[in-house]
């Protein structure tokens, strides 16, 4: 039991403290500069859609407000078997700058992205969703990084604003800021292990078609580029905005699918798990250890309870007390927002537990072979 306790405690400490601080320090000690330039390639913005009638018009207007040279960018809208007015709205914007690719059957986001890329003409591909909005300078800031020939993909920065209701927003926002801090450090040191799906760009020449079942296109594509020897970097000035999930249930569903995608990624790209790969340590620490976190949490709780009962050791009693405080905070944070004061520590503890429960569900989905062709986040 003592061995299980110490292994679990060490694993959790490494995942959420040692690795983040370590990569941050390494990024300070050995920062790989990016040779930015006023590089102006042709750009294709690829927007894959399912049923987005309620927000597609506003999204297209937002993209058309970009400050990027008007004759150097286009928008490709790839519609995947929409059953609402998505295609009709997209057709109203159709022009030499905005093209529509549509299919009657619903196949999935990965297939829609592949179709959009096939129709695109740009030297740089920018990927986004219908849900967010860009600042006018976002594309210009993304593209400036491609002046450095070692850069193959660039992730922008997504800012998540709280939903108008629900108790999930605050915890999700804090966790997202923490994760962005890690990604920025990884990019400064060498290369991030993924990108922000809401806003990222890649060199067209390095793009590889997605397997149709791909869940995490925003990790598969950057990692396929990293496997070719290029860097994936983070551009803080390329800003996009989104609204957090209003409820823990929505966030749980999204996170379970995302984490299922990480399991799938290991299957699709086994080379990522090879110690000979240059980003192996980062992928292992940032992605794989997160997947194991719920197991380590359960092992820590169970072993600590047994050890504290057997031996009134100050260390074990203190650890048990800290875990008790955490799980009480989870319970307090789980109450509907109208029944509790808005206390950040409770909300954060609750959403942290929700995300880790989603990791277990994601594993269950992956083992069962569950594959959602499209999940629309409200």
311 part of a folded domain: no
104-156 tens-digit pLDDT: 888 889 999 999 999 999 999 999 999 899 999 999 999 999 999 999 999 99
| 129 within some domain | yes
Task: Let me know if residue 100 belongs to a domain.
Answer: yes
Query: Residue 118 falls within a domain, yes or no?
Result: yes
The total domain count for the chain is: 1
Identify whether 104 is part of a domain: yes
What pTM does this model have? 0.85
- Indicate whether 353 pLDDT > 60: yes
Return the structure tokens found at 87: 């295609």
Residue 215 domain boundaries: 31-246
Q: CATH number for the domain including 193?
A: 3.90.550.10
Q: pLDDT tens digit string along 301-347?
A: 999 998 888 877 888 889 989 999 988 888 887 776 555 556 677 77
In a domain, 369, yes or no: no
Q: Which residues contact 275 (CB under 8 A, 6 or more apart)?
A: none
313 part of a folded domain: no
For residue range 46-56, what is the model confidence (pLDDT) as tens digits? 999 999 999 99
Residue 160 is assigned to a structural domain of this protein:
yes
């Amino acid at each position: 039991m003592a061995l299980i306790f110490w292994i679990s405690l060490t694993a959790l400490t490494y995942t959420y403290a040692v690795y983040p601080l370590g990569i941050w320090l390494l990024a300070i000690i050995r920062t790989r500069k990016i040779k930015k330039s006023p590089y102006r390639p042709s750009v294709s913005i690829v927007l894959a859609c399912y049923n987005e009638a309620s927000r597609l018009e506003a999204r297209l207007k937002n993209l058309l407000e970009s400050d990027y040279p008007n004759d150097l960018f286009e928008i490709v809208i790839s519609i995947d078997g929409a059953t609402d007015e998505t295609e009709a709205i997209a057709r109203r914007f159709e022009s030499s700058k905005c093209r529509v690719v549509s299919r009657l059957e619903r196949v999935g986001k990965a297939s829609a992205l592949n179709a959009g890329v096939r129709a695109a003409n740009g030297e740089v591909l920018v990927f986004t969703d219908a849900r967010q909005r860009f600042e006018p300078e976002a594309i210009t800031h993304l593209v400036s990084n491609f002046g450095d020939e070692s850069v193959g993909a660039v992730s922008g920065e997504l800012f998540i604003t709280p939903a108008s209701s629900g108790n999930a927003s605050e915890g999700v926002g804090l966790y997202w800021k923490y994760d962005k801090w890690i990604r920025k450090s990884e990019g400064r040191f060498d290369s991030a292990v993924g990108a922000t799906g809401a806003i990222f760009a890649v060199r067209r020449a390095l793009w590889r078609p997605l397997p149709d079942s791909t869940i995490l296109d925003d990790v598969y594509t950057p990692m396929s580029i990293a496997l070719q020897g290029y860097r994936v970097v983070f551009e803080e000035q390329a800003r996009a905005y989104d609204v957090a999930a209003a409820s823990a249930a929505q966030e749980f569903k999204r996170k379970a699918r995302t984490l299922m995608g990480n399991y799938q990624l290991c299957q699709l790209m086994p080379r990522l798990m090879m110690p000979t790969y240059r980003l192996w340590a980062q992928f292992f620490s940032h992605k794989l250890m997160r997947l194991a976190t719920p197991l380590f949490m359960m092992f820590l709780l169970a072993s600590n309870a047994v050890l504290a009962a057997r031996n009134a050791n100050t260390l074990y009693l203190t650890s048990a007390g800290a875990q008790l405080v955490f799980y009480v905070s989870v319970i307090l944070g789980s109450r509907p927002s109208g029944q509790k004061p808005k206390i950040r520590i409770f909300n954060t503890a609750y959403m942290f537990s929700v995300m880790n429960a989603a990791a277990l569900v994601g594993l269950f989905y992956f083992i069962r072979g569950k594959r959602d062709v499209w999940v629309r986040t409200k």
